[in-house]
């Protein structure tokens, strides 16, 4: 039989080269937005990125206007947003980690069961739910019945957003652990609960913790669901049942206030730094805690 002759001609070489260049080019293009965002945020935000940003609450529009007319820096910071974000996200972490761990454990251990299939499918749906819808649902569930905007309502909205990510990361991490750990634990006469909490969860800590950090960094910048749940506040608030501010809420406020617009950039810079830090820590933890 005659096989066709395969040659590596100039035409084919050229095609090969072109494809390679295009791939590199497009890869570079995907990086441009990030570079520009970083450049913009850093170059415009560093001016107001000072101690004041962390120690003072948002100034009133009037004070800011007076300061601006006198050529002084903006007389305030975003302390109320920072504490609000810590409070709301902190509560959301507690709720979602608690719930997410249990759901993840259940899913990892009951593959193929009907109910587990339903839960798994609903988790996927929840992951795709628009954040504003989650906000509105939370408004109807929490804000309305309790007749008031609150940090609690905000944290419930964020919990619903974090939950699917934590469930998935817990489930996937536990599924990847060798069945030998579970069997060895049970063979020592342990209860199932002790095997899960003293062996499996610690062994999968890296993966689970990474999932939690990534979920936190995702919801940290959420604005829409907080606008209709936590509302915002111009003072530092640690009360769970009171309206509370958050960094992304303040950014939205600054956008609507020409006297405070300068603070957008330093607030964004702070948010970006925290999110980058979280991602960086997540990477390190994932690498260090590999079992």
Could you tell me the smallest distance in angstroms from the CB atom of residue 178 to another protein?
7
Identify which of residues 168 and 182 has a Cβ nearer to another protein in the complex.
182
Q: Which is nearer to another protein, 5 or 288 (CB)?
A: 288
Cβ of residue 121: shortest distance to another protein, in angstroms? 23
Interface contacts to another protein, rule CB under 8 A: 178, 180-191, 194-195, 198-199, 202-203, 205, 291
Nearer to another protein, 195 or 227 (CB): 195
SS (H, E, C) the chain: CCCCCCCCCHHHHHHHHHHHHHHHHHHHHHHHHHHHHHHHHHHHHHHHCCHHHHHCCCCCHHHHHHHHHCCCCCCCCCHHHHHHHHHHHHHHHHHHHHHHHHHHHHHHHCCCCHHHHHHHHHHHHHHCCCHHHHHHHHHHHHHCCCCCCCHHHHHHHHHHHHHHHHHHHHHHHHHHCCHHHHHHHHHCCCCHHHHHHHHHHHHCHHHHHHHHHHHHHHHCCCCHHHHCCCCCCCCCCCCCCCCCCCHHHHHHHHHCCCCCCCHHHHHHHHHHHHHHHHHHHHHHHHHHCCC
CB of 238 to another protein, least distance (A): 35
Closest approach of another protein to the CB of residue 203, in Å: 5
| Smallest gap from residue 123 Cβ to another protein (A) | 24
């Amino acid at each position: 039989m005659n096989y066709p002759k395969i040659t590596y001609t100039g035409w084919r070489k050229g095609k090969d080269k072109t494809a390679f260049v295009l791939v590199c080019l497009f890869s570079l293009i995907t990086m441009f937005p990030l570079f520009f965002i970083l450049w913009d945020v850093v170059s415009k935000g560093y001016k107001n990125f000072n101690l004041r940003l962390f120690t003072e609450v948002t100034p009133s529009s009037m004070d800011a206007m007076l300061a601006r007319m006198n050529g002084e820096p903006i007389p305030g910071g975003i302390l109320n947003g920072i504490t609000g974000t810590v409070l709301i996200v902190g509560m959301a972490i507690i709720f979602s980690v608690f719930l997410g761990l249990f759901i993840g454990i259940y899913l990892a251990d009951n593959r193929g069961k009907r109910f587990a299939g339903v839960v798994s499918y609903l988790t996927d749906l929840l992951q795709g739910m628009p954040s504003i819808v989650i906000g509105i649902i939370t408004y109807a569930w929490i804000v309305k019945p309790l007749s008031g905007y609150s940090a609690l309502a905000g944290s419930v909205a964020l919990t619903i957003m974090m939950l699917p990510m934590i469930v998935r990361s817990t489930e996937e991490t536990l599924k990847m652990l060798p069945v030998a750990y579970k069997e060895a634990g049970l063979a020592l006469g342990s209860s199932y609960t002790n095997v899960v909490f003293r062996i499996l969860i610690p062994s999968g800590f890296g993966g689970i913790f990474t999932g939690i950090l990534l979920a936190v960094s995702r919801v940290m910048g959420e604005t829409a669901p907080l606008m209709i749940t936590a509302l915002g506040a111009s003072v530092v608030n640690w009360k769970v049942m009171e309206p509370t501010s958050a960094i992304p809420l303040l950014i939205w406020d600054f956008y609507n206030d020409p006297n405070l617009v300068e603070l957008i950039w330093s607030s964004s810079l702070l948010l970006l730094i925290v999110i980058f830090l979280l991602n960086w820590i997540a990477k390190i933890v994932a690498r260090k805690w590999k079992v």
